Amino acid sequence: MNRVKVDAIILAGSSNDGKLRECSDAANEALITIGERIMVDFVVTALRESRYVERIAIVGPVEELARYFSHIPDLVLAQPGRTAMQSVENGITVLALRRRVLVVTSDIPLISPDAIDDFISRCGDQQADLYYPIVPKEVNEAKYPGVKRTYVKLREGTFTGGNLFLVNPGIVHQVMQKAEELVRLRKSPVALARAVGFSVILKYLLKLLSVPEAERKVSRMLGIRGVVVVSHYPEVGIDVDKPSDLELVRDVLVS
């Protein structure tokens, strides 16, 4: 089993100015409360209980986050950038990283140490530049019936994307512009396919696009080696970006 240690960056810079605003007046989505805890605290706890994660950087509103996390050893705070990729760079800088880093969004409070450890273990020798998890639809539906996710139909099945990535910090600046475009399009499968080429669109529409083909295409686009990892933990893909998501996680975590 893989025993390589990693550091982690939590992206916690999103302003609460979208659909969740009707549920909470917190200025930042990471600060929305679930029971008596803020959302990002669930992610921090899961990372700290992981067998593989050592140091943690939270990239977000430093002054507010310091009230909750300044006492935790091996945890540092950094200001967010204008984009998600710039925030990743800020986290890499504050951790002075050279080895692979686990990048996690702050809006997956259902994430567990087991889900994190399973993903890192499945990344194997960690020689690739980017590892990205996908979760089969049937796995999501079995544990969280009716949960609303964005799905992509591939030759091997129907999948949703995860919200954690294992990244080689050395390639972040190189791929920043293209990666930001892919992140922006990630919840629109057709727009994402359009960005990667006509042949991909055609195969996607005919349900002939395979996981390895998608993996190779994105790797060529970014000039890196990317690997798709199939996870059977739905928690890696259930992010809180609308009121129904928040209701779900509150039902699961506050009982």
User: Residue 32 in contact with residue 16, Cβ under 8 Å?
Assistant: yes
Distance CA 236, CA 185 (A): 19
Backbone angles phi, psi at 71, to 5 degrees: -90, -5
- Strand, helix or coil at 211? helix
User: CA of 64: how far to CAs of 26, 31, 42, 78, 174, in Å?
Assistant: 11, 8, 16, 12, 31
- Paired residues of 210 in beta bridges: none
CA atoms within 13 Å, Cβ hemisphere of 93:
12
By the 8 A CB rule, do 214 and 200 touch? yes
Domains by residue range for the chain, with CATH: 6-253 (3.90.550.10)
Rg of the chain on CA atoms, in Å: 17
Residue-level pLDDT, tens digit, the chain, 255 residues: 456 789 999 999 999 999 999 999 999 999 999 999 999 999 999 999 999 999 999 999 999 999 999 899 899 999 999 888 899 999 999 998 778 899 999 999 999 999 999 999 999 888 899 999 999 999 999 999 888 888 888 889 999 989 999 999 988 887 777 667 666 665 666 666 666 655 555 555 556 578 888 888 778 878 888 899 999 999 999 999 999 999 999 999 997
